[in-house]
Structure formats: C-alpha cells, structure tokens
C-alpha cells in the first residue's frame, strides 16, 4: 500500500517532506511488534498515527484503545491500566479488569506518557519486558500480549534528567521514534487543510464553501499555529459559519486570527524544572531592551531640544574629523582611548562641542582649533539638562506628566532624571 492510498484512507492532508517521512516510518514499523514512541506538539495528530500502525499490523482485527494517561488521577491510574481485586481499596466492591487485560492481543495507545507517575512507569516497564502484571491489591501474576504505542508532547529527556521519567522505560518505549512535525514547519499544507475543513463544514451546515483570496492565504500560511491542526480546524469552522462573504479577504481573516500580524519575540522552551522562571527572565530582558531603546530616543529628543533652545553652534562631521586628525598627530596617533566607541553621524546630525576631546599634550600647549568657539558659560550637558527639567517643573507647577510632555520625554524617564539629579 503506497502513501497516497494511506493518506486517503485515514484522511491525512499534506505533502511536506517531514510529514511523509513520519508516515513512511509508521507504515514500515506497523507489521512488527516493536514499541513506538510518537513525539510532537499538541494538536498535530499523533493519535492518527497510532491508528495507522494498528490498522496495518497483524493485530488489526483485535481491540485498539486510546488512553490519555495525563487525564487519569494519580490515585486511580494503576487500577485503570492494570485492574484491581475486590477490597483492594475503599470503593473496590468487585474485581475489575484493567485496559491491559481487556485489550489482550490488541494495541494500546498511551497518550501524554510523560505525565505518568513513577510507580506506574515501573509496572509498564515490566509489561513491556515480560508481558506480566499484577492487579492492584492482588499477588497473582497475569500475562498479556499488548502492543504499546506511546505519545508525548513533552521533552522526555528533560524529564529523565529531572528524575520525573525512568530512563530504562524511555529507551524501552523509544524502540522506533516517530516525530510528527508541527503545522508551522509544513506551511505548504496549511491551505490544503483549510480547504478540506471548509468543504466539510459547508456540507455539515448546508452552506457554500468559503474561499480565501491570495492575501488571506498568505496570512494563514505565515501564522505560527501553536494549536496546530486542531486550531486550524477551529478557525475554518468559525470562518465557514460567521463570515459574511464567501470569498474571505485579509481583513476578514484577521477578525478570526487577531494575532496573525503581531511580531512574536523568539523564545526557547527550557527544561521542565525551570521553564517558567527562564521564560520570565527572558520577558524581563526583552522588556528592558525595549525600555532602553525608548530611553535613548527620549534622550536624543532632549538633546535636540537643548541645542535648539540654547542656539548652540556645533561643528559638523568634517570638522570633527579634521580635529581628530590634529589630535592624533600631536599625541602619537592614539588620542582616543581604546574603549571609546565610534559611531557614524549623518549629515543632518550635530555633535556637541564638549563631546570633542579637550585634552592637549601639556608640553606643546597647542591652542584649540579656530572652528571651536570658546564660551564662558558651562556647556555641561548634565547641568543644562538639570536646569531645563527644573524650569519645566516650575512652569507646570510640579505636574510631572505635563512637564514630561513639554520636554518631549516619557514620564518614566522624567522620574528617573529627577531622582538622578536629586531635584526637589
């Protein structure tokens, strides 16, 4: 059976290389009894792959059951999987078979295997190695012949390192790994999936099939789809039911995906142990960088206001270059310290007189160049800035918000400057 017929049989849409590689691995491993570990984000369709493996295996006429181990409470999961004897615990009024006993000869799909408690992992390992298990509250050993297909959206290696998942169980399950790619890694399949869902919902709700124009299609293909196929299906249903036009444009699709054009900062999912703290640290760092950028813009605005309000005459870039050449020749070519950063200045920007180096070799006593005008008053930027802030506060009767607006800076920057200069 070729891949195309398998796609049609199980309703798989897509032709990306990563998807077909995962599908090909599932088809090849299906006829064996090897354990399979399917990895992938939530919503990528891991359960569909488990059904493909069961349907193409010699066990296809026996039972198949899918169990979400993350949804079963820790106190009852052993009873659910392995059964219990009467009187094993409060409420155990009769003997009960577990899933591994009722699916004997078939396939059991254990989803979210990373959430399984450690004691349950030990019981599962024994089944995988010898096919033996004991019911809760029993000393009798039972035998079962069940093929296990497990799935997880968590990084099991990280869980192993933090002691939350058994290393021997991981390598026993991971005999054949299959990674199902997220939707954002197969953008060529997004529109195909949307069309399939749109046709299905048109039949379901007895309406006309919605279509996307080119711009809306690009928005759909460029969106991150963190919910993967499940999220895409939900959006397709909303558009099919709520959209007024049958040909959906960019503005219309953005009604249903308002975050589609937002920029997302890169983030790395760290170890389970400290992922929340690491994410918070990164968010704080990114916020700090943006605040620094805003502060630089505010400072730049303040500098230009100072220049304009005081009618300062400053040399242009060419003057600075010629002055630097003079200083270099007098001091042996290394006038500026190595740590001093250099940056380009455009033609429409100005440079302060006091930004230029004022140090001359004491033995030569060379006078300053003629293009530097000497003035009696202080040209200290900090003094001028402090004075300007004081004037703005007096002008606006200490209303900091109005003073900040008048100065052309943010209120936050004004607060910081008041504290820095110790302004009463």
74 contacts: CB under 8 Å, gap ≥ 6: 117
Phi, psi of 137 (to 5 degrees): 80, 10
22 contacts: CB under 8 Å, gap ≥ 6: 49, 178, 179, 180, 181
- DSSP per-residue codes, 285-331: HHHHHHHHHHHHHHHHHHHHHHHHHHT-----HHHHHHHHHHHHHHH
pLDDT along the chain (424 residues), means of 10: 87 92 95 95 94 96 95 92 90 91 96 94 95 93 95 92 94 94 93 94 92 93 93 94 89 87 51 48 67 77 74 56 52 46 46 45 49 56 83 86 84 83 81
pLDDT value at residue 398: 86
pLDDT value at residue 57: 96
pLDDT value at residue 392: 86
Can you list the domains of the chain with their CATH numbers? Answer: 3-181 (3.40.50.300), 185-256 (1.10.8.60), 314-338+352-377 (no CATH)
* CA 371/CA 261 separation, integer angstroms: 51
pLDDT value at residue 229: 94
**With contact defined as beta carbons under 8 Å apart, do 45 and 37 qualify?**
no
């Amino acid at each position: 059976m070729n891949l195309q017929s398998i796609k049609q049989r199980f309703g798989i849409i897509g032709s990306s290389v990563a998807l077909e590689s995962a599908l090909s691995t599932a088809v090849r491993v299906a006829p064996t009894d090897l354990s399979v570990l399917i990895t992938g984000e939530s919503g990528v369709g891991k359960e569909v792959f488990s059904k493909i493996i069961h349907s193409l295996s010699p066990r296809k006429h026996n039972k198949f059951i899918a169990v979400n181990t993350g949804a079963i409470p820790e106190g009852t999961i052993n009873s659910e999987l392995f059964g219990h004897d009467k009187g094993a615990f409060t409420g155990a009024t009769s003997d009960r078979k577990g899933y591994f006993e009722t699916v004997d000869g078939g396939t059991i799909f254990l989803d979210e295997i990373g959430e399984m408690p450690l004691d349950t992992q030990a019981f599962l390992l024994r089944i995988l190695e010898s096919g033996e298990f004991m019911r809760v509250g029993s000393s009798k050993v039972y035998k079962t012949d069940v093929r296990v297909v497990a799935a997880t959206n968590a990084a099991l290696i990280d869980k192993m390192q933090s002691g939350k998942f058994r290393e021997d169980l991981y390598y026993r399950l991971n005999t054949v790994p299959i990674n199902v790619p997220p939707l954002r890694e197969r953008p060529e399949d997004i529109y195909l999936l949307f069309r399939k869902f749109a046709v299905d919902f048109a039949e379901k709700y007895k309406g006309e099939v919605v279509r996307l124009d080119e711009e809306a299609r690009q928005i759909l293909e460029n969106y991150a789809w963190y919910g993967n196929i499940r999220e895409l299906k939900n959006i397709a249903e909303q558009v099919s039911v709520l959209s007024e036009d049958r040909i959906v444009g960019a503005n219309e699709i953005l009604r249903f995906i308002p975050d589609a054009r937002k920029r997302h900062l890169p983030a790395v999912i760290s170890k389970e142990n400290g992922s929340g703290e690491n994410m918070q640290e990164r968010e704080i760092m990114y916020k700090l960088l943006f605040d620094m950028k805003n502060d630089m813009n505010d400072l730049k605005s303040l500098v230009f206001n100072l220049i304009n309000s005081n009618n300062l005459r400053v040399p242009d870039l060419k003057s600075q270059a010629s002055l630097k050449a003079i200083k270099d020749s007098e001091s042996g070519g290394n006038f500026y310290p190595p740590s001093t950063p250099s940056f380009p200045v455009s033609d429409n920007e100005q440079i302060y007189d006091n930004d230029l180096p004022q140090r001359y070799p004491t033995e030569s006593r060379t006078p300053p160049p003629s293009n530097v005008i000497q003035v009696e008053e202080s040209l200290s930027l900090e003094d001028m800035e402090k004075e300007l802030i004081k004037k703005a506060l007096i002008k606006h009767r200490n209303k900091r918000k109005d003073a900040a607006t008048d100065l052309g800076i943010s209120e936050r920057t004004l607060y910081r400057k008041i504290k820095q200069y110790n302004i009463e």
